[in-house]
């Protein structure tokens, strides 16, 4: 049986995807996510293949952030991420308020 803290066998790193733009990375991420979902239905979410795929998805996320910074400029990218974070917090606070009110 697999344990959640098992390190992946596949160690690639975000550098492999350094030449891709955010659009390409989004497509790869969507394809890999769909493949992992299909694979999980058959083998379970902690199979060796799934753990390796999760590691690869982390690498893709890191590559997307680097590409986003390149495409938008690091300062502007930080502003956009901060604004998105504030929006998520505000949405969560609205949901909690609505839940408490009902």
Task: Give the tens place of pLDDT for each residue, 57-100.
Answer: 888 989 988 898 888 887 787 788 788 888 888 888 888 888 88
Domain locations in the chain as residue ranges: 14-101
How far, in Å, CA of 10 to CA of 21, rounded? 23
pTM, full prediction: 0.62
Pick from 63, 77, 37, 54: nearest CA to 2: 54
SS3 4: coil
């Amino acid at each position: 049986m697999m344990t959640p803290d098992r390190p992946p066998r596949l160690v690639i790193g975000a550098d492999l995807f350094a030449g891709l733009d955010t659009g390409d990375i989004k497509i790869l991420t969507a394809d890999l996510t769909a493949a992992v979902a299909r694979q999980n239905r058959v083998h379970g979410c902690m199979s060796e293949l799934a753990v390796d795929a999760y590691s690869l998805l982390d690498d893709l996320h890191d590559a997307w952030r680097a590409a986003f910074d390149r495409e938008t400029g690091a300062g502007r990218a930080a502003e956009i991420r901060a604004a998105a974070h504030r929006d998520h917090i505000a949405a969560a606070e609205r949901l909690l308020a609505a839940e408490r009110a009902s």
